Amino acid sequence: MVFLKRPGGQSQFSEALAAQTSTASPIDRIRMHIVEKPRTNLGLKALADVAGVSARQLSRLFRSELGMNPVAYVELARIDIARRLLEESAVPIKMIAYAAGFGSTTTLRRAFLRRIGVTPAQYRLQFRTAGSGSETKDETETNMS
């Protein structure tokens, strides 16, 4: 089943789907790179090298095409990866933080609170798909604090 509008206040933005559409522009190359390698260095210089433009030009492209800077975009893309993993698996939050490219569960938690307004554990409890598993040790510990 595919929702035209995702339920429960979930974002309509899916970086994985957007990245699959095209790799012609510098922004498209970066989208694909982030989805394929979220754990790599995704700093401005590294992304500019992937896009084949200067760091300054990349910042301009992001502002004009997406209305945000590259750092904000990388964070949103990593959050999207983490959200999918939280929704579709019972993988511990620590492993999700690593898989999505966050340095730690603390960084993941801060990003979720800033962008989504809930912790990763709260998000998982609210949006987990049926049959994705039972509550994990990470969630239990997080919910108790």
pLDDT tens sequence across 19-65: 454 457 899 999 999 999 999 999 999 999 999 999 999 999 999 99
* CA distances in angstroms from 128 to 36, 52, 81, 86, 135, listed in the order given: 23, 39, 14, 7, 10
Lowest model confidence (mean pLDDT) among 8-17, 120-129, 133-142? 133-142
**Six token digits for residue 94:** 């620590």
Place of tokens 């970066």: 30
Global pTM reads: 0.73
DSSP class of residue 14 equals: -
Does 93 score more than 90 pLDDT?
yes
